Amino acid sequence: MSKPDFKAMSRKELHTYVLAHREDQEAFYSYVDKLHAEATWIEMPALQSVEDLENYPEFLERLRKSAEPRDNAV
């Protein structure tokens, strides 16, 4: 059986494949590479206090947006 083309898979497809084939290191590394390439996260140093969040408005905005209820009506 031949291996799937990990580069052609979407992030979600690759995530599903990695979960189903946890022993496949090549798939895992391809998934991590894809996550790194898409870079959808915000990097920031460790916080010293809750007040430190005020120094990262883009992070707070992303949190607010993700907490908003979504309208799933069609």
| Domain spans of the chain, in order of start | 6-67
Calpha distance 64→61 (Å, rounded): 5
pLDDT at 71 over 70: no
39 with 63: CB under 8 angstroms? Answer: no
pLDDT in tens, 17-66: 999 999 999 999 999 999 989 877 777 778 888 888 888 888 888 888 88
pLDDT at residue 13 is higher than 80: yes
- pLDDT tier at 1, thresholds 50, 70, 90: low
Beta-carbon neighbour count of residue 18 at 10 Å?
19
User: Tell me, what's the pLDDT at 26?
Assistant: 96
Angstrom distance (rounded) from CA 14 to CA 4: 10
Helices in the chain by DSSP H: which ranges? 11-20, 25-38, 57-67
Q: Is residue 74 over pLDDT 60?
A: no
